[in-house]
Amino acid sequence: MNTRKKKHLGTKQIIIIVFATILLFMAGVSTGRLSAVAKPVEENAGYKEQVSLTDKEKAYQKKHPTIVVAADASWRPLEYTSDENGQYAGVIAQILGRLGNYTGFKIEYMVKDSYAAALKAVQSGEADVISGLAYDKNMAKEYSVNLSNPYLMINSAIVSKGDVSGLYNSRKSKKIAVVDGDYANAEIQKDIKNVKLVKCSSNEECLQKVKDNQVDMAIVASYCAEYYMSVPKYSALKSHTITDFSWQLAFGISTKENPMLVQILNKGIDKMGHLDMNEAVYEGVVNATYDNNLMLFVYRHPILVISVVLGIVLMIAVLLLVIFVEKKKEHMRQVEDGTRLKMALERTHLCIWEIDLANGQIGKIDNEQEPHGFYDLREGIPESAIKQGYVHPDDISVVREAIRKIQTGETNVQGCWRIKQNIDDENSSTYWWEQVRFRVVFDEKNRPIKAIGVSEDITKEKDAQWDSLTAVYNRSSFERKANIVLNERRNAHLQCAFLILDLDGFKKINDTYGHGMGDRVLISVGATLNKIFRTTDIVGRLGGDEFTIFMTSIRKKEDVVLKAEEVVENIGKLREKEGFPFFISCSLGVVVGTKGQEELAVLYKKADTALYKAKHEGKNCFKIYQ
């Protein structure tokens, strides 16, 4: 979606466009194609850590760091090449980008003009993987390829000009356009009576035959059908999604490749969660926009083109008409962007809404998902939501800061906060976690006027691994992750460290100042620990005021000593930094261990012994288990 409004063209630019139009048309420009560019996934920009590989898998990957993927360029918007720069793009391209991040492979694309050509490249060994193949073991055996785990469900859609009721029972013969080689064709032939399949080379050719009344209807992948529905030339057609001919999409791997490649790819596929898939659809479909190319202009305004070619319209009339066309195109682009957003959102768990920055009024954009959170208030956001108790007290500052950023014109703003589930129940303490990404929209003077919000309920993910108060791992997640690192064979015999932190006099703080103040202290401690330790280290809260840190790798004992000193020093500065009316200190118990030779329970016991010693030797210090 374009977030900054473009300025209108000046007279000189309009005159140049008019003369360019005349020259290009007289040169016999053929019918233009629509092109789309999806935002690529940056290498190594993954949302989670990479998958864990065995020694054999690591050896294979080291020897084969790059995999060549054969792709079909005619399957918009799932995969295609941009007419503008030839870049491989689409939903599958986004999924492959994330798969590369999670597995560590560098992915090169071999883009072919058809599915058959892409399959042939894999069968011959020219490419390692084909980007999309039906998850059918018999078909895979027939094509001499190995299958990965499925990664995407493909539904079918009926595209027609009129009513399609009685599709299965009608005795009237029907002509149905399908893409040659489509996996669903056999099921269509079997389940629909009196049918004659008209095989086409692409989805667009199928829709064109429906438009030209050469067939009664077309059955194509629903992603592709809905994408082309937003093209003006197909706007009169109707699309109906059906699940009868649904199938799963997988990667096809050359049988000439080592089975290790299949194993590693499957680990990457299993690693991707629904958030990855939602974002792949969002980036692959929503960010695809039609180029403002000459042929789209000619198709929409044939009268103008004829007038220019014949030369019977005065220049002033042409200029006025071009200005009108620019305004019309801006309107159509906004309509198309909204349609594309709606189509993408219907296939995800995302919800989209917008907020007027002038008055804080909020409204839902037309999609089927119900908005998460406090959006039934509709105006005065965020203060009205805060006043009525929708926002968790600890997240009020986060919500206000997000709104402040979009009001000051920051273009990409995101936030994560808790919203009360039942506002009518004053005694309810149940909240859901919501993740929101904002895109700011500007007026012609480059002033922020509204923000588009895309939100998702991530309560299950938060509850599954994070401590809801301190933003560190909860006990079960901490123990699970620490045990995984301790048992890694690839890092056996490397040193690690386990630390237990206990706040000094925390019970007195709760008794004197209340649990609200105690929670503030715990939140500050969690934030401090997250800043001190590396992202590769594991920080958790076992309960109460007891925190644990697992340093996954250290070079020498002095590394742990420096970190322990830093923790004691920074916790001691919280009074001055956060404005607490009391001094805060902590005691630490530290133990150094060796991976592959230690159990987490043993490390915990040793660190707890060191903590006991620190507590009885004056507190506000650390002790190392000897």
The pLDDT tens digits of the residues spanning 132-156 come to: 888 999 989 999 999 999 999 888 9
Domain made up of 351-463: CATH architecture? 2-Layer Sandwich (3.30)
DSSP3 helix / strand / coil % (the chain, rounded to 5): 40, 25, 35
Residue 90 has pLDDT above 90, yes or no: no
Using one digit for the tens of pLDDT, what is the confidence trace for 178-204?
998 888 888 888 888 888 999 998 888
What crossing angle do the helices spanning 91-103 and 259-271 adopt, rounded to 10°? 110
Per DSSP (E only), the strands in 161-306 are 174-179, 195-200, 217-221, 238-254
Bridge partners, 178 (sequence order): 199
Residue 98 has pLDDT above 50, yes or no: yes
Q: Contact, 291 vs 18, CB < 8 A?
A: no
Please report the pLDDT score of residue 511 as a whole number.
92
H or E element: which one contains 461? helix 459-465
CA dist., res. 11 & res. 385, Å (int):
48
Range with the lowest mean pLDDT among 5-9, 286-290, 621-625? 5-9
* Structural tokens at position 580: 């607490």
* Structural tokens at position 599: 């159990």
Residue 366 has pLDDT above 80, yes or no: no
Please report the pLDDT score of residue 438 as a whole number.
87
Quote the DSSP letter at residue 4: B
Structural domain boundaries of the chain?
A: 11-32+293-345, 154-247, 351-463, 467-624
Shortest CA distance to 361 belongs to which of 395, 337, 384, 388? 384
- Considering the domain 154-247 in this protein, what is its CATH number? 3.40.190.10
CA dist., res. 330 & res. 342, Å (int):
19
Please report the pLDDT score of residue 458 as a whole number.
79
Using one digit for the tens of pLDDT, what is the confidence trace for 99-136?
999 999 999 999 998 888 999 999 999 999 999 888 99
| Count of beta carbons in the 10 Å neighbourhood of residue 265 | 25
CA dist., res. 453 & res. 392, Å (int):
19
Q: Do domains 351-463 and 467-624 have the same CATH topology?
A: no
Average pLDDT, the chain: 81
Give the three-state DSSP class for 82: coil
The most confident of 5-9, 149-153, 295-299, by mean pLDDT: 149-153
Range with the lowest mean pLDDT among 342-351, 521-530, 610-619? 342-351
Q: Contact, 481 vs 548, CB < 8 A?
A: no
- Considering the domain 467-624 in this protein, what is its CATH number? 3.30.70.270
Shortest CA distance to 355 belongs to which of 287, 402, 417? 402
Kindly report the pTM of this predicted structure: 0.42
Confidence of residue 312 (pLDDT cuts 50, 70, 90): confident
H or E element: which one contains 433? strand 431-442
| Count of beta carbons in the 10 Å neighbourhood of residue 432 | 18
Residue 44 has pLDDT above 70, yes or no: no
More confident residue, 11 or 88: 88
Bridge partners, 197 (sequence order): 176
Please report the pLDDT score of residue 364 as a whole number.
61
Using one digit for the tens of pLDDT, what is the confidence trace for 449-499?
888 888 888 777 766 677 878 888 999 889 988 998 888 756 667 889 999
* Structural tokens at position 261: 């490649």
Residue 347's identity, in one-letter code, is R
Residue 367 has pLDDT above 70, yes or no: no
Shortest CA distance to 178 belongs to which of 205, 149, 151, 154? 205
Please report the pLDDT score of residue 288 as a whole number.
54
Range with the lowest mean pLDDT among 40-49, 54-63, 399-408, 585-594? 40-49
CA dist., res. 114 & res. 236, Å (int):
28
Confidence of residue 413 (pLDDT cuts 50, 70, 90): confident
- How far are the Cα atoms of 208, 239, 246, 351, 448 from residue 347, in angstroms, in the given order? 25, 15, 14, 11, 30
